[in-house]
Structure 1
């Protein structure tokens, strides 16, 4: 059963008892929890004791008037909306109250429907502001550095670097294979920078043809080309004072690279078809899954642009080079999809974890996340087993390569060959080999002694 939503709380401040009683009855009949205050002093004391969604106060009271109640409400509980009631013909008091932060004002005599409408709208605004703040908080938590999962030496080095560069305003070039988390790292840098309360604008440069990319980035004026029926502000301008993230920057054509370089050197934007230039302040973070030095040699990427964006280079390692993180990431994604899919999978079998650790992960962390989501969604087991993993069949071929195909050999011989192959792969490192096989180092030592 869905939990009953608490009634909105209103603090009613009115020194005339008969008027206060009318408002009290009206508000209670319409689903509000009401606390009464017969004067401004009592109202301020109530504000210090309890949370209210809205304060409805008369302006003319003595010795503490409604304007002072408003001032104190803004100090004590700035998230609480305030609606003031003015005497007939005293609109100036209401206007002054709105300048001090009141949501709205009503003139006596007050119409019931109008009062209820304004109160409902004020509380809806408060709830919307709260939801936005919560969303912003969740985004900050999601993109906090401690949410970038990794304990391997390579990822610890990456985390050290991004914690150092987040507070700077320097241009950053993030390089790494597809699926290594380049945008996640870029967003984390933004959310931990001085620009975190300003716009974050992400653009996939490989998703547009040249003419469209120029218009998307820099905007256009009406009539600049067929279909330009109105002026359009570009994404660069939308990112003003914030962070502009250019993903797949290597996919930009050479003519488009010239235009981007011109902007980076001048910090000025000129809309397509326009003549005026506008100053824009953005921090640039670029990303690519290509080797830009090779692209410069191949003359598919401008050398001057390369050095302009290569101020602070950051390379993200592929997942196959951070095997120590596979188990940690797998459990992280398991928790995520248990929550999202309302499941309660308790973990991974040893064999499944061995398979996850030994897989090559050509799609990197993105592929691992997708594999775990699929396994959580489809498994009927308490723990994820090898058959829940999409590359289980390829794992079966390992045994065929060990001689378990057509040749009939003993289980002991099969185990011996398997251990030899894993030891060879681990370059003689018993600790690493034991981890890959899902057994203790002592157990492996005993098996090697046989």
Structure 2
């Protein structure tokens, strides 16, 4: 993946170009700064090196700045190009921006304006490069499961998903609303031997009790008023595949009894029929409720619970995997822009850091919806902290709550703390709990690493 860095200066007036190079070198001593004296020379340099920003004069003999801009952007779409001219007009600026210029300055160039534009141009190119790298990473990490993230809790969940997918047992998927229970169910199906067959989902609370039985098991013509023809239920339609019973905790006792029989016998009886139909369906069930409590108050059958809970997966809430928020936010932003068919947008590190401090009681679903609103209501290509504040205002979050919830310093400290914990846990996982090996891998001294482990109250023995 290309790293965009360095500044290319283009002007046919050599004294001006070299003077500007000296000026920028004093301001950015660590940046690679190169001067070119014609458009053709600049294009040759762009073929050999990767630059983050190109500052070019507009009026040059041979190839002018706009022609150079067009050719440079065709070959390097993420390059930030700044046009400089001594004949700046509104029309000239607009024309250059339409062609793809990042910004526009006039001679004589004010050094502070130059520094500001170059700094933001470098940041823009870096963010675009990171965004492309993120998409490559996501493509490698998600695979068929689409479980986005690399935190320790999510990696453990992915391992468990892969393990249960290899069997044909029923699975009870637990988790708060919005944690991705249906996505996990689809991951299990996609990784299972049944992946070439159908997977169907029924949202149990969404269907009235009197219709849920017919939805699950089907009915015969004349079974009840309005039953004008036979109907296959979901068990038959998903035969050979997988059936997800979403929010299983909300079904009635009567449906529970019929479902228990279907699981025990491997057959179903359509409503109004005297015949049973054998079915071969893998059952996955999800719930955001503590079924053990429902068993105690007799609203959920204990025998059905144990039929469903052969294997169990518990999904971590987003507050326990906040190290994934940056990746999730950028992933959802890419998806939202594709859905809207608009130019891709990128989100700044400060904005991501702030998002990582929010509580997200609605978990991943709430974060995704927030990013969708951010994509819709923010016209800028680069989304920064003020854009986040704007969406919070549209959502009706009081300003004083915003200010007290996540000042920048606190946001940064929390992100660093989350990163440190995630890094140390991943380090110990790779080293199988061996602190000396972990120190070698990290480049830290053993004493320094032990201090960090002690401060975080991590037991290295848990990783052996």
Give 1:354 shift. 2.5
Give 1:391 shift. 2.5
Contact 1:245–1:285 (CA under 8 A) maintained in structure 2: yes
SS at match of 1:329: helix
The aligned counterpart of 2:178 is 179
State the alpha-carbon separation in 2 of the partners of residues 323 and 229 from structure 1: 52
SS at match of 1:227: coil
The aligned counterpart of 1:262 is 261
State the alpha-carbon separation in 1 of the partners of residues 410 and 323 from structure 2: 21
The aligned counterpart of 1:292 is 291
1:374 is aligned to 2:373: yes
Give 1:256 shift. 0.9
Map Cα deviations across residues 244-293 of structure 1 (whole Å, 9 max, x no partner). Answer: 11001001011110110011000111111110111111000000111111
Map Cα deviations across residues 375-416 of structure 1 (whole Å, 9 max, x no partner). Answer: 1122122211334333257484257549xxxxxxxxxxx98x
State the alpha-carbon separation in 1 of the partners of residues 411 and 143 from structure 2: 40
Q: 1:248 to 1:399 in 2, by over 3 A?
A: closer
Give 1:343 shift. 2.8
Contact 1:143–1:188 (CA under 8 A) maintained in structure 2: no
State the alpha-carbon separation in 1 of the partners of residues 352 and 364 from structure 2: 15
Give 1:349 shift. 2.7
The aligned counterpart of 2:312 is 313
Q: 1:345 to 1:239 in 2, by over 3 A?
A: closer
Map Cα deviations across residues 350-390 of structure 1 (whole Å, 9 max, x no partner). Answer: 33222211111111111111111111122122211334333
State the alpha-carbon separation in 1 of the partners of residues 200 and 418 from structure 2: 47
- Structure 1 stretches lacking a partner, 5+ long: 1-140, 403-413, 436-450
Contact 1:201–1:243 (CA under 8 A) maintained in structure 2: yes
The aligned counterpart of 2:361 is 362
State the alpha-carbon separation in 2 of the partners of residues 420 and 144 from structure 1: 35
TM-score by length of 1: 0.57
Contact 2:353–2:412 (CA under 8 A) maintained in structure 1: no
Map Cα deviations across residues 153-209 of structure 1 (whole Å, 9 max, x no partner). Answer: 110000000111112101101011111111111111111111111111111111112
Contact 1:222–1:228 (CA under 8 A) maintained in structure 2: yes
RMSD (CA atoms): 3.0
State the alpha-carbon separation in 1 of the partners of residues 253 and 273 from structure 2: 22
State the alpha-carbon separation in 2 of the partners of residues 260 and 294 from structure 1: 20
In the alignment, which of 397, 400, 404 is matched to residue 397 of structure 1? 400
State the alpha-carbon separation in 1 of the partners of residues 141 and 208 from structure 2: 32
Contact 1:154–1:322 (CA under 8 A) maintained in structure 2: yes
State the alpha-carbon separation in 2 of the partners of residues 165 and 431 from structure 1: 29
State the alpha-carbon separation in 2 of the partners of residues 347 and 356 from structure 1: 14
Larger Rg: 1
1:153 is aligned to 2:156: no
State the alpha-carbon separation in 2 of the partners of residues 143 and 273 from structure 1: 45
1:339 is aligned to 2:338: yes
Q: 1:164 to 1:145 in 2, by over 3 A?
A: farther
The aligned counterpart of 2:126 is none
Contact 1:355–1:395 (CA under 8 A) maintained in structure 2: no
The aligned counterpart of 1:274 is 273
- Structure 2 stretches lacking a partner, 5+ long: 1-139, 424-464
Q: 1:142 to 1:275 in 2, by over 3 A?
A: farther
SS at match of 1:170: coil
Give 1:419 shift. 4.4
State the alpha-carbon separation in 1 of the partners of residues 212 and 142 from structure 2: 27
The aligned counterpart of 2:240 is 241
TM-score by length of 2: 0.56
